[in-house]
Amino acid sequence: MHQTALIVDDDPTTRQALGAALASAGIANLIAEDVPAMWSLLETRPDLLIFGLGMADTELLALLGQLRRKSEIPVLIHASGCDELKQLAGDTIAALDFLARPCDKNELLARIGHLLRPSPEQPAPLPCSEMRCLRFGQWTLDTAARQLIGPDGTPTPLGVPAYALLCAFLDHPFEPQSREQLSRALKREYLPYDRIIDVHVSQIRRILGKQQNGSAFIKTLRSEGYVFIAAVDAG
């Protein structure tokens, strides 16, 4: 079967090396030098995305969250020093792998081969307001009953502000959200020194506890806000 990889990298030497390695395996390639070009070429429905642009971890995490709401294309992050991003994403973003650069050609092709294995088609998540149940970790948010269901199947009390914030997080997993954005979810004016968002986020954290890998569901981003770092199954 003819397969195509989209290489997103601003370094010509790296693009040439990746293109040659892919060609040796019979995989065609498309080139994007920046994110806008990537979005445009994704319309051609390539089979794999190899991403090597230098970005801050939070920016790349947000980009991956946006991508997953549009496509289930496998992604290989080909960059140096992405250990923190790998720890943040863990195995919560489907069809995602990391490979440090420079890399061995055989290792590159092995990772690509693994990502290109057929997998069941997954539907794109819908907004919280359009779904009855949103599942993340061992939790379920029933938006019709406005209830948070715990791992043991019993409802867990959740106040109105905490419910609104949790919905905002579940609508945008892996996407950093500022306190001003979260204030809008509470339908209140944002005040720089108002700590009400932090109070409610702390409440949500206490209720949810840790994920199975030991990490928190919500990570604080210094001077930015918060990001929800668990996959959400809208079913």
pLDDT in tens, 199-227: 899 999 999 999 988 889 999 988 788 99
Domain boundaries, the chain: 3-115, 128-234
pLDDT band at residue 126, thresholds of 50, 70 and 90? very low
Handedness of CA 197, 203, 204, 209 (dihedral sign): positive
DSSP conformation class of 26: T
pLDDT band at residue 228, thresholds of 50, 70 and 90? very high
Percent of residues, the chain, with pLDDT higher than 90: 24
Alpha helix ranges (H) inside the chain: 12-24, 35-42, 57-70, 83-89, 105-115, 160-171, 179-185, 196-208
Quote the CA–CA distance of 55 and 188 in Å, as a whole number.
32
Count of CA atoms in the C-beta half-sphere (13 A) of 137:
24
The answer, yes or no, to whether residue 121 has pLDDT greater than 70, is no
Least confident of 41-45, 151-155, 221-225: 221-225
CATH number of 128-234: 1.10.10.10
pLDDT at 104 (0 to 100): 79
Residue corresponding to tokens 């992050």: 77
Q: Domain 3-115: state its class.
A: alpha beta
Helix axes of 160-171 and 196-208: crossing angle, nearest 10 degrees:
80
Whether this prediction's pTM lies above 0.85 is answered by no
